[in-house]
């Protein structure tokens, strides 16, 4: 994924054409960046780190669901460590995902799948919680192509059209079914 600074630099080359190239040569030089990258005017998180941050959050949610925190919010540190160990052991057995010290892109990619949620649901007794987790992951997977794509309008127009609806539902789900972690944090 290109950095924001690199996109700005390429836009500047496109705008000023410092080497006096033809449109074809210029287009080749800037590799598709002919519009100023909007949304950000400051460097920001790239798609990979967005994936890593989201996966770390889901990994935490999985642990909290195993421990049924929605019923018992005052669990001890030892209990929470036990939930993580249970999750790690199960993910290793079911998904061949070996525990890691720090979230990375490969682990994030493997973790953020429907199969992982199905495996995690085996550790959670409540059918209602299964539904909430599955819907959360489903919405995430529907939204992901939009921020992974360099041109969502061309590459994934259906996902782009659904994005606003999906993100609102995602936020609603976090602030209701997962309010033990997100109450007051979703705007």
Q: Which of 131, 136, 140 is nearest to 163 (CA)?
A: 140
Question: Among 3-7, 12-16, 169-173, which is the least confidently predicted range?
Answer: 3-7
pLDDT tops 70 at residue 2: no
Q: Are 37 and 12 in contact (CB under 8 A)?
A: no
Domain boundaries, the chain: 1-44, 47-182
pLDDT at site 150:
83
Between 36 and 57, residue with greater pLDDT: 57
Q: Which of 58, 59, 71 is nearest to 126 (CA)?
A: 71
pLDDT at site 36:
56
121-146 per-position pLDDT tens digit: 999 999 999 999 999 999 999 999 98
Q: Are 154 and 181 in contact (CB under 8 A)?
A: no
Q: What is the mean pLDDT of residues 90-114?
A: 94
């Amino acid at each position: 994924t290109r950095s924001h600074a690199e996109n700005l630099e390429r836009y500047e080359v496109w705008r000023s054409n410092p080497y006096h190239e033809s449109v074809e040569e210029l287009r080749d030089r800037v590799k598709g960046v002919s519009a100023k990258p909007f949304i950000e005017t400051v460097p920001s998180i790239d798609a990979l780190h967005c994936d890593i941050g989201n996966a770390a959050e889901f990994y935490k949610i999985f642990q909290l669901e195993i421990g049924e925190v929605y019923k018992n919010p005052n669990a001890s540190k030892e209990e929470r460590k036990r939930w993580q160990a249970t999750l790690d052991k199960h993910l290793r057995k079911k998904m061949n995902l070996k525990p890691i010290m720090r979230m990375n892109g490969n682990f994030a990619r493997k973790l953020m799948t429907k199969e992982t949620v199905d495996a995690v649901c085996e550790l959670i007794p409540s059918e209602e919680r299964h539904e909430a987790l599955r819907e959360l992951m489903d919405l995430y997977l529907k939204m992901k192509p939009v921020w992974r794509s360099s041109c969502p309008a061309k590459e994934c127009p259906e996902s782009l059209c659904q994005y606003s609806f999906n993100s609102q539902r995602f936020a609603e789900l976090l602030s209701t079914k997962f309010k033990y972690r997100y109450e007051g944090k979703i705007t």
